Amino acid sequence: MKVTVRQLVFERLEADINSGLIYIAGKEIPFTQKEKDLLFYFLRHQDKPIPKEILAEVILGSDASWLEDFNIVFTMVRQVVKKLAAYGCEGYIQEVQNGFYTLGKS
């Protein structure tokens, strides 16, 4: 049986679909499962504006329908942005409109 490794890549950021691991410049970086979920979603939708409502579903699943404010989304995105920046990936995730985010360099 042959196993195909699938990777999602944006510049120095890599995600291994099979293992669920995140790498920056080839080094494995620790992310929480929710942070990984966000990163995988961003990597699958590079350069596309993603609304906060969709990101809420990525983070919370179907539980997101009850949200009236999106502080959990903003907080989680900020955490991922900070962690990426700490490993030299500044500006990878950006707010492109009020409540829309994208993975891509401007």
| pLDDT tens digits for range 50-72 | 999 899 989 888 766 676 778 88
pLDDT band, very low/low/confident/very high, at 1 (cuts 50, 70, 90): low
The residue whose two tokens read 């494995």 is: 28
Q: What's this model's pTM, rounded to 2 decimal places? A: 0.88
Cβ distance 45 to 56 under 8 Å? no
| pLDDT tens digits for range 11-53 | 999 999 889 999 999 999 999 999 999 999 999 999 999 999 8
Q: How far apart are CA 60 and CA 67, in angstroms?
A: 10
Q: Average pLDDT of 85-96?
A: 95
Cβ distance 101 to 94 under 8 Å? yes
